């Protein structure tokens, strides 16, 4: 499965505001949606459930460290499956560290605002050409630093982020395509 690093998609909500971000990345893979059934809620649930265990352990470590500095944490993740069952992907809804800001037919904007930085994650499902069963699944991240601590915080996060997002995207595609069988 090939994952490509691309520019922030022109049709992303994150790209329509002409905002300048301190950090931006986007990764794209191809999802076979042979029944044309996947919704923005489906891709959001896959985003939260498709990460490998080592990503979960990194988040636990992150939460322990940043709580010392008074930053937001993802809270107790022990009941994640139940949270995902009830997750409707509606604006204002929170799952862990991620709040839903916007939901459209093809895109979901997740993220959080904190005292050190604000981040957004866009999950887009775009038809690929004339064949509607193949779609580009794109995960984009934007970050705005609110102060010097945000820049300092992101220094060690950045290399992990560049590993984590493509890994999660591969997992999303794999898990969603299993639903096609």
Average pLDDT over residues 34-41: 85
Q: Which pLDDT value is given to residue 69?
A: 62
Q: What is the pTM of this model?
A: 0.85
Could you read off the pLDDT of 86-134 as tens digits, one per residue? 778 899 998 877 899 999 989 999 999 988 899 999 999 987 766 667 8
Whether residue 59 is predicted with pLDDT greater than 80 in this model: the reply is: no
Could you read off the pLDDT of 98-111 as tens digits, one per residue? 899 999 989 999 99
Percent of all residues in the chain with a pLDDT value above 70, rounded to a whole number: 80
Cα separation of 50 and 53, whole Å? 9
Q: Which residue has the higher pLDDT, 175 or 69?
A: 175
Average pLDDT over residues 12-39: 89
Q: Judge whether 132 and 108 are in contact, CB under 8 Å.
A: no
User: Where do the domains of the chain lie, and which CATH numbers do they carry?
Assistant: 4-175 (3.30.530)
- CA end-to-end distance (rounded Å), the chain: 18
């Amino acid at each position: 499965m090939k994952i490509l690093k691309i520019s922030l998609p022109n049709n992303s909500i994150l790209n329509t505001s002409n905002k300048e971000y301190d950090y931006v990345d986007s990764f794209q893979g191809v999802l076979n949606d042979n029944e044309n059934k996947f919704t923005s809620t489906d891709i959001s649930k896959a985003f939260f459930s498709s990460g490998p265990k080592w990503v979960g352990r990194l988040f636990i470590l992150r939460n322990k460290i940043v709580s010392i500095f008074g930053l937001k944490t993802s809270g107790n993740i022990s009941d994640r499956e139940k949270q995902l069952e009830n997750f409707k992907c509606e604006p204002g809804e929170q799952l862990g560290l991620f709040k839903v800001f916007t939901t459209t037919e093809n895109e979901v904007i997740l993220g959080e605002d904190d005292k050190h930085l604000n981040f957004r994650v866009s999950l887009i499902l775009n038809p690929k050409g004339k064949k509607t069963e193949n779609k580009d699944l794109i995960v984009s991240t934007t970050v705005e630093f609110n102060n010097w601590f945000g820049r300092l915080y992101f220094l060690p996060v950045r290399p992990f982020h560049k590993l984590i997002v493509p890994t999660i995207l591969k997992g999303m595609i794999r898990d969603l395509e299993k639903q096609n069988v």
